[in-house]
Amino acid sequence: MRAPQPSQKRKITRTGTGSAAKKFILRCVLCGVEIDGFARWFASEQRCPECGSDQADVVYRTAAPKIRNLFNQPPNGLPGMWRYFDILPVNDRKNVVTAGEGLVPIDRWEFLEDYARKRFKIRCRVYAHRQDDNYATGTFKDLSGSIVASVLKENGIKNFVASSTGNTAVAYARYLTAAGISFYAFIPQKTSIMQAAEVGCFGQNVFRVKGDYTLTKEMAMAFARKNKMPLAGGNFDPMRIEAKKTMMLEWLRLLDEFPTVYIQALSGGTGPMAIAKGCRDLAPLGLCGPMPRFILSQSSRCAPMAAAWKEAKKKGFPEGWEKTYPIYRNPQTRIATLAAGFPKTYPVLAPLVRESGGEILAFDEDATPLIARLVAFERSVRIGPAAAIGLGGFFEALKSGAICDGDRVMINIGEGIRRAPEFLVTMFKEKAEVASVEDCRLSDRRGYRADVWNELENTVMNGKKAADDRRGR
């Protein structure tokens, strides 16, 4: 995959605690040099001390039988995803900062299976990885919050800086508070005061930057440099990758089958990169199938990767295709978590998607309330707008023929409604006010179901004929 074979491995001198306690090292993805833990990584500003790359894999020394046991044994006394402590990047259990995140339900969503079968004659199984009720923030950012806080605590770091459009700042604020670490969050001015309050209420620092997200990031970087504080890493951050890797560990623990397709809303792509990392680690032990096909969905209002992918595909992926992508300044999406107009990770992520046999596509942002209403109706689960973009990707994929008979589809429901109350309002159609009982209409739930599905048919699925033609039906 992304890792070129290192021509040589040089060992960096150890720092920090004795090596006997250490269960992992970091290995630079570009030059292969081994970095002896996070103390060294932070000392070199979260970059490889040899070549400056910001991509490093955590490599565990955990013995294979111990890893195999993680999926069968009763939990080790640590809550949540920390039952996988032996393959998470913290050496001492006392440094674990957790709110019990990660062990969320993975549901079968038969209503989507029925739809695929009836509408497209595709028999597939559909699972929803329900991060919508995660403990701290109701998003899958809890996973990173917990790992980052634990790693920082273990390495004696007292201050941390991050720029964020929302979810990350809120998750980090909560976990860093629990770890006794001071946090400086930079969020764009446009972000709601509620978001700022969710960080500030813990007594953490939040700066609303007069400008867009790009300026916010620059300011956070300058602040971190000026005050010599570590800054939250980007999409390649090994702490974030290890956190999201736990999603696939849960598939192994809870399901009898490994997914053939993984669907997620796409911003920078840490999620799919983390699943791929997990597969690289565990496939040699025979614990998982091959990497699933990554079907990644961007909002139609901010889809630079989907646009680049479409173009590259049209041209047959010519030499150097992965280096060509547009950059959108001030993307006009209302989904702040997916507002990444500069697709910096595309040159790494897109080849990974191609290797997996997957797709990068765009889903109509205006149709997200409809998707969320459908899920609320069928499963009494309230998903957030980014999750609706992900699930919308399932419908797009059906339409374009990217889901096949026999597929086992895992959809990451990455956030619940808790983080986006304004989105809840768009899911609610009947806004009538009444003055008398005569004004109160009766309505049958079955009628509502028909309305929701019809609307889906008429808007989202209106390209179905083209897909049928492509399939030769």
Ligand X SMILES: Cc1ncc(COP(=O)(O)O)c(C=O)c1O
Query: Which position among 89, 138, 233, 271 is part of the footprint of ligand X (CB under 6 A)?
Result: 271
Q: Which amino acid is at 266?
A: L
Torsion on CA atoms 125, 81, 147, 141, rounded to nearest 10: 40
State yes or no: residue 50 binds Zn ion (CB under 5 A).
Answer: yes
> Of residues 401-440, which lie at the interface with Zn ion (CB under 5 A)?
none
- Output the furthest CA–CA distance in the chain (Å, rounded): 81
Q: How far apart are CA 127 and CA 248, in angstroms?
A: 13
Burial 315-349 (b: 16+ CB within 10 A, else e): eeeeeebbeebeebeebebbbbbbbbbbbebbbbb
State yes or no: residue 137 binds ligand X (CB under 6 A).
Answer: no
Is 165 in a helix, a strand, or coil?
A: coil
Six token digits for residue 184: 């400086």
Query: Which position among 37, 125, 415, 427 is part of the footprint of ligand X (CB under 6 A)?
Result: 415
- Are 141 and 168 in contact by the 8 Å Cβ rule? The answer is yes
Q: How far apart are CA 258 and CA 403, in angstroms?
A: 16
Closest approach, Cβ 53 to Zn ion, in A, equals 5
Beta strands in 279-397 (DSSP E): 293-299, 359-363
> Of residues 51-80, which lie at the interface with Zn ion (CB under 5 A)?
51, 53
The interface region with ligand X, picked from 15-23, 76-84, 260-268, 426-434 by CB under 6 A, is 260-268
> Of residues 17-36, which lie at the interface with ligand X (CB under 6 A)?
none
State yes or no: residue 378 binds Zn ion (CB under 5 A).
Answer: no
- What residues form DSSP beta bridges with 383? 416
Q: 330: number of CA atoms within 13 Å, CB side? A: 4
Binding site partner of 386, from ligand X, Zn ion, none, Cβ cut-off 5-8 A by kind: ligand X
- Site map for ligand X, 37-76, x if CB under 6 A? ----------------------------------------
Q: Which amino acid is at 103?
A: L
> Of residues 325-344, which lie at the interface with ligand X (CB under 6 A)?
337
Closest approach, Cβ 402 to ligand X, in A, equals 18
Question: In what helix (H) or strand (E) does residue 28 lie, and over which residues does it extend?
Answer: strand 24-28
Decide whether 13 or 458 has the Cβ nearer to Zn ion: 13
State yes or no: residue 31 binds Zn ion (CB under 5 A).
Answer: yes
Binding site partner of 267, from ligand X, Zn ion, none, Cβ cut-off 5-8 A by kind: ligand X
State yes or no: residue 298 binds ligand X (CB under 6 A).
Answer: no
Binding site partner of 268, from Zn ion, ligand X, none, Cβ cut-off 5-8 A by kind: ligand X
> Of residues 150-169, which lie at the interface with ligand X (CB under 6 A)?
167
Residue 453's contacts (CB-CB under 8 Å, 6 or more residues apart) are 374
Decide whether 139 or 260 has the Cβ nearer to ligand X: 139
Q: Which amino acid is at 16?
A: G
State yes or no: residue 266 binds ligand X (CB under 6 A).
Answer: yes
Chain residues that interact with Zn ion, rule: CB under 5 A: 28, 30-31, 33, 48, 50-51, 53
Chain residues that interact with ligand X, rule: CB under 6 A: 139, 141, 167, 235, 264-271, 337, 386-387, 414-415
